[in-house]
Structures are given as structure tokens and as C-alpha cells.
């Protein structure tokens, strides 16, 4: 091992297909982490467990690309935020019109539709909502006077398709259809053909108008949500959270946990083992017996007990993982240290009166660096899977969207039994791919350091 230079390791490593595959996967994961941190607002990370932040998203929606493989297209969830605005006035009556154009091209009815608005007004303006269908039919949805206010006020509200007034208004227009619409939901009436109760495809225009006399109101925020069954690249969970955001934020978190735990554990184990082997005699005996005690402790039960009794903070968990991660490395580095310290240049340095610390850090530890790099790579998957396992058991830090935490939520809401595969498979695949990258790199380094492993 001591005759291998860094150039030799580099040359041999890039001859290994396994090592190159590991580097490619790791590069993709690091690039994904950087892009996530730069492009996705940190608020999405902070608001991951705030249900109010995801209220406009659909519940347990499948990824939109699933439509490419379905004969019967399911409706996508749409959030329309930029209406076309028109204002009219005849010096007495003021009319403001907000129009949302929406192309409906699916084979199933949407789940619902919601109009969310915030308006600033005085007095009591009249708000009307209508929809122009692709067949030219105009359906009146609701007409309501906003709460009276003698002074300028801001009013926030939502109009749901499940509103009884809206349904009653639609039923009153029963004569426009060739079949009975009494028992249909509002969205089924609005998006239905006139001949049969089947989805009518084409361009819909939702129009919201406010009427006032001698006053002029202002709609500050105006959004129309067409509730669908498909949303985003990775779908949503039961709490309406966009799983693509959770998976992307999980990448830098997994790399952070894995690398911090493995690097710290390897450094602790190397220094501990090398010092023990170098000092020898009673010091070695005492340090190794303490190492044996830690080594004999069942790590997972202790991690569970420590998470429950002390804290489930992710930073505390990283500390717990370090405590149990260094003992194996200390044993191996001790045996290497015992061999290296018998070499001539180390004995010569000792006879010249060099300090123990200088001999350890200058003559022994550098010889163990190839083993250290391989150990770091091999230790990362263990740290990531242990954190994921604890999170899956409900012992992780719920404030961080780690892959293990996503799997825990999926298990809590019975995703497997309900067939919500997009909530289970992607985080599992991400854990496996990340672990595989470091296993490839570690095995490639290990085969260089230990030539006996070569075929």
C-alpha cells in the first residue's frame, strides 16, 4: 500500500468502469443539489410541513407524464393566475371583467374548480361568475353581493364548485341539457356535453365581473384553480405537497448527512486507531478495550432509544451516527499503524527525537489516506440508509424533507395499499442510486488499495 502514489491511484481508478460509473452518478447528484439550492425557493423547504402552503395543489395526484401511457387522458391540475382584465364605465356604472381561458382536452371530468380572490372595495359591489363553453353555451355560475362596508376594506374569499348556491344556479339552467342534471356535481354539469353526460373538450372561458355604482373596486389577487387528478413531474402526496420539490431537496440533504457522518467517522477512527497502535502497550490495550465496548453495542436499538429520549433533530442524529461509525475504522487503522511504525524511517524519526504527534501526522497517517478515501466512500451509503430507516420508523426530524421522511409519510397514509406508487418508488430509487454511487467508488478504490481484490 505504501508504494502506491496518488497518481497511481488516479490512473488505476479511471481504468475501472465501476469507478467511472460511480463518479458519473455522483456528479449528477451534486449537480442536482446545486441546481436545487439555486433555483428552488428556500421557502418551499421551510414550508414543507405547513399544510396552508400547499392548499391550492391537488391531493394524491399522479404525475402528469402518466397521461402519455393512458388511452383515457386524466385531467391535469391547473392553477390560472393571470386573467385578462377589462374595465368599462358609463360615468355611473363601473364594470371590471376578469377572464380565464382554459383548454380542456381530457376524457374525465375535473375534481372541482375554485375561484380565489382578494378585493379592495367600498359599499357592496355585485360579483358574478359565468363560463363560456366550447359549444357557445353560456352558463351562469353565481351572483353575489359582497359584504357591505362604508369604508375602504379588503375582502378575501373563495368560490367553490361545491357551493350550494352555485349548484342551485346551474340546476335552474336544466333546460339547456338533454338529460337530467339534478344529481350531477357542478363540475360535471359545466364540463358536460349537452347530449350526454360525457366531458366536452375545447376552450372554456371563465368570466368574473364586478358591478358598482359610482364606485371603483380593485381585485388585488385573482386565481382560478381547475382541480385535476395529475400534477407536476412527480405528483403530489396526501397533504397536497409537490413530491418533486421534496425529492429535489432530499438530494443535498442525503449528501450532507452521508458525507458529514462518513468523513467525521473516518477521521475519528483513523486518529484513534493510529494513536492506539503507535503508542502500544497499556495505552493500546485500554483504547482497544473501550473500542470493543462501543463495537459491541447494538447500534440501531441505541439510535432509536437516543432519538426518542434525547432529540430527533437531524443534527443530533448526525452526532449519534458518528458515535457508532468510527469503531470499525479504528480497528483496521490500528493494525496498519502497527505495521508502519516498524519501518525504518519511522524508527529513525523516533531516534532523532521527533514528537509522537509529528510522527503520527507526518509519517503514518499519510500512508493511510488511500484507505481513508475508500472508507469514506463505503461509509456514506450506511449513513444515508440508517437515517432513512430511522425516519421511516417515525424517529427522524420531520422538519426536513428527507427521502426517509417522505417514505414515512407514505407509510402513514397507506400509500402502498392505495396504489400511490409515485409516493413510494422515487424516494426508494433515489436512496438506492445514491448508495450505489458511493459503493461503486469505494469498491474501485478498495481494489486498488488491496490488489488481492482484483480479478
- Which of 159, 146, 130 has the alpha carbon at shortest distance from 212? 146
At what angle are helices 243-279 and 17-39 packed, to 10 degrees?
120
Residue 125, SS3 per DSSP: coil
* pLDDT at residue 429 is higher than 90: yes
368 DSSP 8-state letter: G
At residue 1, does pLDDT exceed 60? no
Report for 57-71, 203-217, 293-307, 312-326: range of highest mean pLDDT: 57-71
pLDDT band for position 340 (50/70/90)?
Answer: confident
Per the prediction, the chain carries an average pLDDT of 88
Can you list the positions of beta strands (E) in 47-137? 78-80, 84-89, 93-104, 112-123, 126-132
- pLDDT > 70? residue 3: no
pLDDT for 137 equals 93
Q: Any idea where the domains of the chain sit in the sequence?
A: 6-48+241-453, 64-227
User: Which sign, positive or negative, has the C-alpha torsion 216, 221, 227, 230?
Assistant: positive
Could you tell me the pLDDT band of residue 28, with boundaries at 50, 70 and 90? very high
Pair 76, 231: CB distance under 8 Å? yes
Q: Cell numbers 358609463 correspond to what residue?
A: 90
Residue linked to cell 371530468: 109
Residue whose C-alpha cell reads 391531493 in the numeric block:
59
Helices (H), 40-163: 42-46
pLDDT at 5 over 80: no
The reported pLDDT for the residue numbered 31 is 95
Residue 50 has pLDDT above 90, yes or no: no
Q: Report the pLDDT averaged over residues 381-401.
A: 84
Please check whether residue 95 is in contact with residue 87, taking contact to mean a CB–CB distance below 8 angstroms.
Answer: yes
Collapsing DSSP states into helix, strand and coil, what is residue 173?
coil
Q: Which CATH class is domain 6-48+241-453?
A: mainly alpha
Q: Identify the band that residue 451 occupies on the pLDDT scale cut at 50, 70 and 90.
A: low
Residue 426 corresponds to which cell in the numbers above?
422515487
Q: Would you state the pLDDT for residue 454?
A: 55
How much of the chain, in percent, has pLDDT values that exceed 90? 44
Q: What is the pLDDT of residues 157-180, one digit of tens each?
A: 889 998 999 999 999 999 999 999
Q: Is the pLDDT of residue 353 over 60?
A: yes
Hunting for cell 379588503 — which residue is that? 154
- Domain 64-227 belongs to what topology? Jelly Rolls (2.60.120)
pLDDT band of residue 452 (cuts 50, 70, 90) is: low
State the pLDDT confidence band at 406, using cuts at 50, 70 and 90: very high
Q: How confident is the model at residue 311 (pLDDT cuts 50, 70, 90)?
A: confident
Does the pLDDT value for residue 139 go beyond 90? yes
Among residues 414, 411, 408, 413, the alpha carbon closest in space to that of 387 is found at: 408
Q: What is the pLDDT of residue 370?
A: 81
Q: What is the pLDDT of residues 203-251, one digit of tens each?
A: 999 999 988 877 777 788 889 999 999 999 999 999 999 999 999 999 9
pLDDT over threshold 90, residue 366? no
Split at pLDDT 50, 70, 90, the class of 453 is: low
Of the given ranges (85-99, 125-139, 141-155, 194-208), which has the lowest mean pLDDT?
85-99
Is the predicted pLDDT of residue 347 greater than 80, yes or no? no
pTM, two decimal places: 0.81
Amino acid at each position: 500500500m505504501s508504494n502506491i502514489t496518488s497518481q497511481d491511484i488516479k490512473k488505476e481508478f479511471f481504468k475501472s468502469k465501476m469507478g467511472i460509473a460511480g463518479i458519473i452518478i455522483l456528479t449528477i447528484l451534486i449537480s442536482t443539489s446545486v441546481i436545487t439550492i439555486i433555483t428552488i425557493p428556500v421557502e418551499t423547504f421551510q414550508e414543507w410541513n405547513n399544510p396552508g402552503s400547499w392548499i391550492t395543489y391537488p391531493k394524491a395526484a399522479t404525475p402528469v407524464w402518466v397521461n402519455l401511457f393512458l388511452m383515457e387522458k386524466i385531467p391535469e391540475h391547473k392553477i390560472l393566475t393571470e386573467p385578462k382584465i377589462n374595465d368599462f364605465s358609463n360615468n355611473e356604472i363601473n364594470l371590471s371583467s376578469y377572464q380565464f381561458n382554459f383548454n380542456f382536452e381530457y376524457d374525465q371530468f375535473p375534481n372541482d374548480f375554485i375561484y380565489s380572490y382578494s378585493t379592495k372595495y367600498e359599499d357592496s359591489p355585485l360579483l358574478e361568475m359565468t363560463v363560456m363553453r366550447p359549444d357557445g353555451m353560456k352558463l351562469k355560475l353565481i351572483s353575489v353581493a359582497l359584504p357591505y362596508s362604508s369604508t375602504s376594506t379588503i375582502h378575501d374569499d373563495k368560490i367553490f364548485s361545491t357551493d350550494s348556491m352555485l349548484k342551485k344556479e346551474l340546476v335552474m339552467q336544466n333546460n339547456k341539457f338533454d338529460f337530467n342534471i339534478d344529481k350531477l356535481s357542478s363540475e360535471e354539469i359545466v364540463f358536460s356535453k349537452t347530449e350526454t353526460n360525457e366531458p366536452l373538450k375545447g376552450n372554456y372561458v371563465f368570466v368574473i365581473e364586478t358591478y358598482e355604482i359610482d364606485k371603483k373596486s380593485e381585485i388585488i389577487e385573482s386565481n382560478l384553480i381547475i382541480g385535476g387528478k395529475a400534477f407536476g413531474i412527480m405528483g403530489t402526496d396526501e397533504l397536497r405537497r409537490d413530491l418533486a420539490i421534496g425529492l429535489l431537496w432530499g438530494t443535498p440533504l442525503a449528501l450532507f448527512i452521508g458525507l458529514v457522518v462518513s468523513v467525521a467517522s473516518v477521521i475519528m477512527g483513523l486518529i484513534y486507531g493510529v494513536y492506539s497502535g503507535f503508542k502500544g502497550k497499556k495505552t493500546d490495550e485500554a483504547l482497544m478495550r473501550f473500542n470493543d465496548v462501543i463495537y459491541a453495542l447494538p447500534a440501531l436499538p441505541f439510535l432509536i432509544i437516543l432519538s426518542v429520549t434525547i432529540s430527533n433533530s437531524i443534527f443530533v442524529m448526525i452526532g449519534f451516527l458518528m458515535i457508532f461509525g468510527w469503531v470499525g475504522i479504528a480497528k483496521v487503522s490500528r493494525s496498519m499503524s502497527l505495521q508502519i511504525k516498524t519501518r525504518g524511517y519511522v524508527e529513525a524519526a523516533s531516534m532523532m527525537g521527533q514528537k509522537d504527534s509529528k510522527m503520527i501526522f507526518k509519517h503514518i497517517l499519510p500512508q493511510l489516506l488511500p484507505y481513508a478515501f475508500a472508507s469514506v466512500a463505503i461509509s456514506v451509503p450506511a449513513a444515508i440508509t440508517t437515517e432513512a430507516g430511522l425516519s421511516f420508523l417515525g424517529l427522524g426530524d420531520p422538519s426536513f424533507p428527507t427521502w426517509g421522511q417522505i417514505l414515512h409519510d407514505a407509510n402513514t397514509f397507506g400509500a402502498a395499499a392505495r396504489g400511490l406508487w409515485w409516493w413510494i418508488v422515487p424516494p426508494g430509487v433515489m436512496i438506492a442510486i445514491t448508495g450505489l454511487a458511493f459503493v461503486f467508488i469505494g469498491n474501485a478504490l478498495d481494489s486498488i488499495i488491496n490488489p488481492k481484490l482484483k480479478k
